Amino acid sequence: RVTKEVDSTSKEAKSFLKQQEKWQSAAPASFPTVSGVKRASGMSSLLGKIGSKKQKMSTLEKSKLDWENFKEEEGIVEELAIHNRGKDGYIERKAFLERVDHRQFEIERDIRLSRMKP
């Protein structure tokens, strides 16, 4: 079990609360008993316990959680944010390569079209 404290106004907290609401609304309906107290019947309760498996954490989720914890422990969150905004950032390099690839494609397309016309 992993515990993480976040600000109640953060995106992560809001998405967690929405997920909890979905789980509660998707809970199986219980049946009323003679005394008026709602209880799940024996068979449906048993089947519900058998059918509801614990959700396992995927490798990607675990890696993401480990990375977030590492960044917080080492205090490098701000440093990474500043570094990734600059020209040396991964996103900026990726966008540059996409622009170059698109430009190269346009040049090759223009050459092919010019050869077809005559």
pLDDT band at 106 (very low <50, low <70, confident <90, very high): very high
Residue 39 zone, left/alpha/beta (φ > 0; ψ -120 to 50; rest): beta
Would 34 be classed as within a structural domain?
Answer: no
Would 70 be classed as within a structural domain?
Answer: yes
d(CA 70, CA 62): 12
Query: How many domains in the chain?
Result: 2
Q: Which two tokens stand for residue 63?
A: 């890696």
- At 97 the pLDDT is 94
38-77 pLDDT, tens digit per residue, is 555 566 666 666 666 667 788 998 999 999 999 989 888 8
Would 11 be classed as within a structural domain?
Answer: no
2-52 pLDDT, tens digit per residue, is 777 777 777 777 888 888 787 777 655 554 445 555 555 566 666 666 666
Strand, helix or coil for residue 34 = coil
Strand, helix or coil for residue 96 = helix
